[in-house]
Structure 1
Amino acid sequence: MNPKSSFSYERFFDLTPDLVCVAGYDGYFKKINPSVCQLLEYSEEELYSRPINEFIHPEDRPITQVKRKNLQAAKPLINFENRYLTKSGKTVWLSWTSWPIPDQEVVFAIAKEVTQKKKLETKREDLLKSLSEKNEELRQLTYITAHDLRAPVSSILSVFELLDLDKIEDQETADLIQLIKRSTLGLKENLNKYLHLIAEKDNSSTKEELLNFSEVFHQVLVAIQPLIQSSEAILEADFTQSPEIHYNRLYLESIFLNLISNSIKYRQEGITPQVKIKTDRLKGRTVLSVKDNGQGMDLAQVEGKLFGKNQTFHQHPDSKGIGLYLISKHISSAGGKIQVESEIGKGSTFTITF
């Protein structure tokens, strides 16, 4: 007996813990396994009778509709995350991998629940944000304390200068006053040291040096090589017009890292990501441009928010709204500016004038 003939694919469909379904181009479920009913808390009849869109979290419906159109255009969907609402009102996160079958006008999809992972990510981000804020508060408190204590310390030292120790007959008292004066002088010196160390640490983060664009660029490429390889991205770089710049190394690395990784992360499905980086000299200033063929953006919708903190405009799981914010801060702190040209479906070009 052929073992293949006795194997029940229907049983595999029913027993798998993953959510497996067949959806029609009309937006309705055509077939679902028991895991879908168990997670969403609806019966098969309820899930079959209502449009899939009704079970999706309202905030995620627009991006899901975009992905659905891509599927109908024969573009597979890999690791797309969105939220669904259960019958009892709970929000669950699902990560979808879907394949369209155009001749039958259906989509075969498998999903894994990633609610716990998303909660952990959110908790981690909240903790990091809180830690960062606390560190900044402590830094400011240290600076203020060291700075403001110098005034009363200086006042105490002024009092010592007014004292005439020759008029103090008790030698033990005179020695005690001298001891207090030396201790106060030591306190002032320590406060000055703390202020110097704080200022030195702040300045070290903005220290500028002569940098070679190509050298920094290739150093960043090493860090994101796995991302480049997995996406098969094509990168072209031309720094001949302006090969060097006096700038902070950490800032330039961050600019390259964020712009290149964003270009790859927000690529168009089914299209090999291409990123073109070049430098120019315009009106005596160095200009860096990073152009991609990615998803692009509607600039009218993101106007005034693009470089804001925690602003996200794509549903990529790694979108945190920090990269462009950091780039903007790096550039503005050094007196430069950043501009963007973008169109949905045609990619984006970021231009930095140092």
Structure 2
Amino acid sequence: MENNTTQLRAAFFDMSHSPYIILDENLILIDINTNALANIPVNKKDIIGKKFTDLFPDAPNNRLNAYREVINTGVPIDVEEVKLCLPSGEFVFFVKVFRVGEGIGFAALNITKMINTIDSQKKVALKLKDFNTRLKQRNKDLEVFSYVAAHDIKAPLTNIHTLLSFLENEGLIKKSGRPVFLKVIQSLDIMTSKLKALNDVIALKYSLSEKQELVTFKEIITNVKSEISEDIKKFDVQIREDFSQCNAILYNPEQLHSVLQNLLTNSIKYRNPNISPIIKISTKKENGKCVLKISDNGIGINMKLGQNKMFGLFKRMHTHVEGLGVGLYIVKSIITSHGGSIKVTSKINQGTKFKIVL
């Protein structure tokens, strides 16, 4: 019976999926199973009888002492990243050390591939971090270039405007050439307007990191309505507000003012001429964040053109009214810089709804 038990233990030891080695009380290797030999490409006869220090010459003294302590006390220990250096390569194991008879046993898990994968991922992460750093620097350089270019172009445009005014005031434009002259003036005005808008966008980009403070929606919307009061009166615009569910937010006040001003101005600009304009503004809490909703009963937007175009710089969804296509670009830039999002739903002649997570 005892012989059968010994044979069963030997079979279990040799057929286990885990690598096992057994050392005697002098830390000399006396047995190793098939799986261990598969993980360590050596011949069994070449390592049986070898001292642990011969097999693992880089093992620190405190670890050897720990193994001897297991032999003395019988208390098992776990050892992480045990390295085995062989002519065929370097192998790394996670090891469970426990007492076997008068010696100790090692149950090992080969983590070489996992360690190599982690090292590879660390290298990729470092490369990605370096790439992001260089990309941020390039973006910063591009912003500076854009600012300088826009600033430098402003003076020549002003000079051209002055020269054209001089030609007109001195009567130097012939009647036959006047239509062309007026088109030049028109083109110059458009270019000047776009340059100003570009400067405004660049200035906004530089100010997006400014500190925040607690601001109330009621105060901001009151200021916005005061600024566009002439249009509100002229077109008999009704503005219905409800800030009861979220009346204040930690935000940059100038940027929140810009968001509301652009959206209200757009609602008035793209009103339906056949009905009285109604703009609804409300706030509420969703998933711990303040959500701003603005809807109108204007002419609506063709959503088939896509939201990417809607929020693009100098992109316009309607051409029958004046505009540069900058307002919504500014709105989205502000919102996304604060980690928020903006969604639009609209139908032609049925109005437009904005949902903004601030």
Higher Rg of the two aligned structures? 2
